[in-house]
Amino acid sequence: MRLTAAKAGVAALVMGAALTVAAAAAPSAASEPSKADEASIQAVVDTFMEALDTAGIEKFSALFAPDATAFFPLAPLYTRLENKDQITKVFTVFFAGVRKGKTGPRYMNLVPEGQKVQLYGDTAVVTFHFEGPDLIARRTLVLRREGGNWLIVHMHASGLEVSKE
């Protein structure tokens, strides 16, 4: 198909307009959190870690927004959990297993490493990992500010096996 000069000009104009709209709609780069945001976000991460270590479902569940989603890191749950109720049910069972046969309240003694916080307005992305003898457990928490409080709207948990050599 052969383009006339007029059609080529119109095509270029439409493409330029589309790129301008796309650039304007693209999310901006992450900003440095203010001291107040940094402290509030860190408080959520600290509470998340404490809830995991103490297998405290009430504290854990309170961190999640009603519409939160999660990817659970262990079999047989390879599907997405679709809301806070599902997340709470799965972690209630998981925490019961963690507590079984152990003295507590520190059951897992997880130490997050390499934490990074990226802030995009009222959304924060927090990434970190745990290192074990044969697994690196990676975590991503996506938080949304609601009424001055940060709530987890998505948790992604995955593991990367490490060679034992």
For residues 55 and 99, is the Cβ–Cβ distance under 8 A? yes
User: Looking at residue 9, what is its pLDDT?
Assistant: 42
144 vs 46: CA distance, rounded Å: 16
- Structural domains in the chain, CATH included, are 30-161 (3.10.450.50)
User: Looking at residue 27, what is its pLDDT?
Assistant: 54
pLDDT, one tens digit per residue, over 25-55 is 445 688 888 889 999 999 999 999 999 999 9
pLDDT, one tens digit per residue, over 22-32 is 444 445 688 88
pTM of the model: 0.79
